[in-house]
Chain A
Amino acid sequence: MKVHRARWRAMSALLAVALLASFALTGCAAEEPATTTEEPVEVTPLVLASTTSTQDSGLFDVLIPAFTEAYPEFDVKVVAVGTGEALQLGETKDADVLLVHAKADEEQFVADGFGTERRDVMYNDFIIVGPADDPAGIAEAETASEALALIAESGAVFVTRGDDSGTHKKELKLWTDVGVTPEGEWYVSTGQGMGDTLKIASEKAGYTLTDRATYLSMRDALDSEISFEKSDDLLNQYGVIPVTDATNSDGAVAFMEWITSSEGQTVIEEYGVEEFGEPLFIPNAE
């Protein structure tokens, strides 16, 4: 009993210190808006779980400020992980809303009751990048899976993310389509995000499957070039899902409504045009 009380006392002391510290901090922060005459809005955090490839593309740098301008009451925190972990964060309710790209898994996630609904947001396309001299000659291929088969045959290095991400799942599906089991010295698995995998592919003079956005945003740092692109089996659909019983479900729904509205869709359509001469994502919300 005594021990109990002592521990309780220590904990409440700690809590008091933490509270005081946070008061002191918020006190400082609160003084600034006091100079304006507008009523202060109560800001609640909104956790958006998305994928490293979306983060690496730079889209959030314009998307999030545009959203918080429309909804200043939400403070968006982007957690960029693989699609696998993003869905896991949704299951454990550590995220309020998801923006990911693995349609079958997303529909399963909603069917299992972890998300309230799923809406299409936008798509981008995958490309296969590789060494400039294209040793496997995949530029001549008809489809992406045929291109992969050529790489496997030639024994050229192929770098895979191997991290259960949307991009990795897409790649595995392409291998299945063509009936090749990728394994061996030439098949290098990084278990890392798109940016790191692109760098490794460039250093190892190998091919890799990537979304166009990440490649374009990193092009200057890479020796790889686009070896194969623009076939039907390379489209990548993004969806938004508010998490069921999320901590900030109002914010989650607001984000979904906004990103699928004409306002959000316009931001997506314009992103990247100035820098890369083409949009990185094509909005297609209904």
Chain B
Amino acid sequence: MQLFVDSAVEGWLLLSSGAVDVWTIVVTSVRVSGAATAISLLAGIPLGVLLGTRRFHGRRFMLLIANTGMGLPPVVVGLVVAMLLSRRGPLGELGLLYSQGAMVLAQVVIALPLITAVTAVSVSAVPRQLRLQARSLGASRLQEALLVVREARMGVIAAVAAGFGSIISEVGAVMMVGGNIEGDTRVMTTAIVQYTRMGRYGPALALGVTLLLMIAVVNVALLAAQTSAERFETQGRT
């Protein structure tokens, strides 16, 4: 137990003294995972609505891909993205390997199927009659889709939380395609791995606590959004 106490004290001192540039690391984490979540939402929510509400050829196959994608091992994503972007790979010209762009790409591949699948499930629970009614009242396809997303907002918020949570705490893929470069692609998870390997449990533990706190803050925010959505719902019905 002494090890934990000593490490916690050492880690706290290092972080507060600024000897470990924790802010750059935290900012990089948020920037990369935030961008990846945003891109995944922009593509995943429309895709999820399409898969959850429309019946078309190839739909079941796409759903299968999204569901399989949820179980995609991040290290495999890391491997494939690294091979694609390597100077010897097909996209080598871009010189993107070991950059923040490569990390965003890998994280989108991880989060997109998750957000798509969770959105599809939650919008498919929206009663079909409601959509038909909206259409008969003259709503366009876009308005209908927006209505469906609003009705399924609890599930969509859960999709955001699942997507962000899965990539901010992921380490294998970002290590492989980012390279943990100081001041550039070093994020909280890769920094934790590095300090642990160096035998410096103090900063590793301090960064771990920071990461946990951040995930907690994001979840509190999403919970608040869900609660206000719930309140809106109950008020709407009375």
Contacts and interface: CB of A to CB of B under 8 A. Distances in A.
Interface of A: 52, 81-82, 84-89, 92, 162-165, 188-193, 196, 200, 202-204, 223
A196 B179 contact: yes
B182 A191 contact: yes
B91 to A, nearest CB: 12
Contacts of B86: 203
29 contacts: A81-B199, A82-B197, A84-B200, A85-B196, A85-B197, A85-B198, A87-B199, A88-B199, A89-B199, A162-B182, A163-B194, A163-B198, A165-B198, A188-B182, A189-B182, A190-B179, A191-B180, A191-B182, A191-B191, A191-B198, A192-B194, A193-B197, A196-B180, A200-B98, A202-B87, A203-B87, A203-B95, A204-B98, A223-B87
Name the prevailing secondary structure of the B interface residues: loop
B199 A82 contact: yes
Interface residues of B, number: 23
Contacts of A82: 197-199
Interface in B118-132: none
Contact of B179 (A86, A163, A192): A192
Nearest to B3: A92
B97 interface: yes
Contacts of A162: 182
Tell me which of B87, B97, B181, B183 has the highest count of chain A C-beta atoms within 10 A of its own C-beta: B181
Contacts of A188: 181-182, 184
Nearest to A86: B199
A220 to B, nearest CB: 11
B79 to A, nearest CB: 12
Contacts of B98: 200, 203-204
Given A188-B184, A196-B175, A196-B180, 14 more contacts: A86-B199, A92-B3, A163-B194, A163-B197, A163-B198, A164-B198, A164-B200, A191-B186, A191-B194, A192-B179, A192-B180, A203-B95, A223-B87, A223-B88
Nearest to A192: B180
Interface in B130-181: 175, 179-181
Contacts of A163: 194, 197-198
A267 to B, nearest CB: 27
Contact of B199 (A85, A191, A203, A223): A85
A200 B179 contact: yes
B50 to A, nearest CB: 38
A190 B87 contact: no
Contacts of A88: 199
Contacts of A189: 181-183
A162 B97 CA distance: 19
